[in-house]
Amino acid sequence: MSDIAIKVEDLSKLYRLGEVGTGTLSQDLNRWWAGIRGKEDPFAKVGESNDRTSKGASDFVWSLKDVNFEVKKGEVLGIIGRNGAGKSTLLKILSKITAPTTGRVNVNGRIASLLEVGTGFHPELTGRENIFLNGAILGMTKTEIRSKFDEIVDFSGVERYIDTPVKRYSSGMYVRLAFAVSAFLEPEILIVDEVLAVGDAEFQKKCLGRMQDVSRNDGRTILFVSHSMAAVKNICTTGLVMKNGQLDFAGTADESVDYYTANFLEFNNNTKALINASHRFGDYSRTIRFQSVEFINGVENNCYSIQDNISLLLTLKSSIDCAAFRIAFSIYKIDETSVGTFFSEEIFSAKKGEIAEIYLNLKNHQLAKGQYYLSFSVGVGNEISGITDYDIVMQTLFFEIMFADINKEKMITIWPTSLGNINFQDVEVKAV
């Protein structure tokens, strides 16, 4: 038991839908009388599994049901599953925010939790005061907290506002400081929910790096919930897959991600994507915007073999006169692992109000068997000197490679149609 940080045995959590509290007085009396006689909660018998997509016949739902697992010291456990699978409920029980209905949890060490924006912060206190408050809650002395104070503030990047009440912080500033406190005040067990999605890309990268450092160098245990399969693969050693409140799979991080992508992710085989806000990433000018992207090969269900060219039609519209821009695209595996980003070396131009169509052809792509998706960007600059983006669109089109790859040289070509005022010659683009 000495090397076990967390042990969960037959853990279950029952909720009543649609009401605040446990229900009526008669229900409370029935529960009390059943408990006195050592009997099971009578309403637990009618509880249903937590399937958010279907209408049930009972007002009682098992948010968690008979969950069992162990986490060893120094292990980084990734917990994945669809929304409503029970991930956050599990973390709240482990953090002692809520109590289980049945089962038990044994925890060996101090826990710091980052479950939602501002967890554990008092809104009326300043950032400085909240650092000392959180340290005291974790059982640390003022001397220990002071020794880490500068590192916390530097990592969070909110030094200018450290003496401002946190109720005036933005959600991003809240998360920055909350994570820095949790990561640097040295709890034995760190629990992190999807809250990092609130931060910007640069801060998320810092957080993931910090979690890797504290697990590998300091031997601390981390429980990490994320919808980013790439992040789970990169920092986690083991994984759990949750489904409708139950443990559906347990294994290494790679095995868990592969199981999840094979059984839970829906493969979108649309041949054309009309670009909208759900595709767009970041806060860019959008002065040159993607209108649509589509496959034009005519293959069935977007399924290609290694011998097939993958041909696409990109439609863009410019609201400015632009003398120079480039096209780039990225290929990702379905689990968000990056395969590569590709840039056109040629500089192109566009006039205000014009719509242009650009054909993109991937030849001899050498992609292994599996499922992928494409993301695109348009901007100025290059991968060496830096890029200023006009528009970035993510997860636009999905496709599948059905056969093993062969050894041929990668080649990607981009060429324009005669429409619009974008003029450039055939370009050969090499993989970065």
Q: What angle do CA 270, 271, 273 make, to 5 degrees?
A: 75
Confidence at residue 126, expressed as pLDDT on a 0 to 100 scale:
94
Confidence at residue 419, expressed as pLDDT on a 0 to 100 scale:
35
Q: How confident is the model at residue 31 (pLDDT cuts 50, 70, 90)?
A: low
Is residue 127 assigned to a domain?
no
Confidence at residue 324, expressed as pLDDT on a 0 to 100 scale:
80
CATH of the domain at 95: 3.40.50.300
Confidence at residue 409, expressed as pLDDT on a 0 to 100 scale:
42
Q: How confident is the model at residue 422 (pLDDT cuts 50, 70, 90)?
A: very low
From 238, 263, 288, the end of a domain falls on: 263
Among 32-36, 159-163, 219-223, 286-290, name the most confident range. Answer: 159-163
Tokens of residue 411, six digits: 């080649």
Is residue 167 assigned to a domain?
no
Q: Which residue has the higher pLDDT, 117 or 35?
A: 35
Asked if the model's pLDDT at residue 129 lies above 90, the reply is yes
Same domain as 207, residue 59: yes
Q: What angle do CA 19, 22, 28 make, to 5 degrees?
A: 140
Same domain as 338, residue 205: no
Same domain as 375, residue 243: no
Same domain as 359, residue 286: yes
Percent of the chain past pLDDT 90, that is, above it, reads 18
From 234, 263, 292, the end of a domain falls on: 263
Domain that holds residue 14: 4-109+188-263
Confidence at residue 304, expressed as pLDDT on a 0 to 100 scale:
85
Confidence at residue 431, expressed as pLDDT on a 0 to 100 scale:
26
Mean pLDDT value across residues 10-26 = 68
Q: Is the dihedral of CA 39, 43, 44, 45 positive or negative?
A: positive
Mean pLDDT value across residues 40-48 = 55
Confidence at residue 195, expressed as pLDDT on a 0 to 100 scale:
64
Place of tokens 């519209």: 317
CB 59 within 8 A of CB 17: yes
Which amino acid, residue 411? M
From 246, 263, 280, the end of a domain falls on: 263
d(CA 349, CA 4): 61
Is residue 16 assigned to a domain?
yes
Considering all CA atoms of the chain, what is the largest pairwise distance in Å, rounded to the nearest integer? 84
Same domain as 385, residue 421: yes
Is residue 407 assigned to a domain?
yes
Asked if the model's pLDDT at residue 348 lies above 80, the reply is no
Same domain as 356, residue 381: yes
Mean pLDDT value across residues 79-95 = 87
Among 116-120, 259-263, 265-269, 392-396, name the most confident range. Answer: 392-396
Mean pLDDT value across residues 215-227 = 85
Is residue 159 assigned to a domain?
no
Mean pLDDT value across residues 191-202 = 71
Confidence at residue 23, expressed as pLDDT on a 0 to 100 scale:
57
Percent of the chain past pLDDT 70, that is, above it, reads 78
Is residue 278 assigned to a domain?
yes
Confidence at residue 407, expressed as pLDDT on a 0 to 100 scale:
38
Q: Which of 10-24, 315-329, 418-432 has the lowest average pLDDT?
A: 418-432
Confidence at residue 418, expressed as pLDDT on a 0 to 100 scale:
36
Work out how many domains the chain is built from and give that number: 2
Same domain as 330, residue 228: no
Which amino acid, residue 217? N
Tokens of residue 21, six digits: 């509290």
Mean pLDDT value across residues 391-397 = 88
Mean predicted lDDT score pLDDT of the chain: 78
Q: Which residue has the higher pLDDT, 360 or 56?
A: 360
Same domain as 221, residue 79: yes
Is residue 48 assigned to a domain?
yes
d(CA 118, CA 76): 23
Within 10 Å of residue 260's Cβ, how many Cβ atoms? 24
Q: How confident is the model at residue 201 (pLDDT cuts 50, 70, 90)?
A: low
Q: Is residue 221 packed enough to be buried (19+ CB in 10 Å), middle (13-18) or exposed (0-12)? A: buried
What is the Rg, in whole angstroms, of the alpha carbon atoms belonging to the chain? Answer: 26
Mean pLDDT value across residues 287-311 = 84
d(CA 222, CA 215): 7
Same domain as 279, residue 366: yes
CATH of the domain at 277: 2.70.50.60
Q: Which of 45-59, 134-148, 237-251, 360-374 has the lowest average pLDDT?
A: 45-59
Mean pLDDT value across residues 86-115 = 87
Buried-exposed string 293-327: b where 16+ CB fall within 10 A, e elsewhere: bbbeeebeebebebebebbbebbbbbeeebeebbb
Same domain as 194, residue 65: yes
d(CA 47, CA 58): 6
Mean pLDDT value across residues 225-239 = 85
Tokens of residue 204, six digits: 């998320």
Is residue 140 assigned to a domain?
no
d(CA 394, CA 279): 5
Q: Which residue has the higher pLDDT, 321 or 119?
A: 321
Confidence at residue 176, expressed as pLDDT on a 0 to 100 scale:
85
Q: Which of 154-158, 288-292, 307-311, 362-366 has the lowest average pLDDT?
A: 362-366
Same domain as 419, residue 335: yes
Same domain as 196, residue 104: yes
Asked if the model's pLDDT at residue 241 lies above 70, the reply is yes
Asked if the model's pLDDT at residue 429 lies above 60, the reply is no
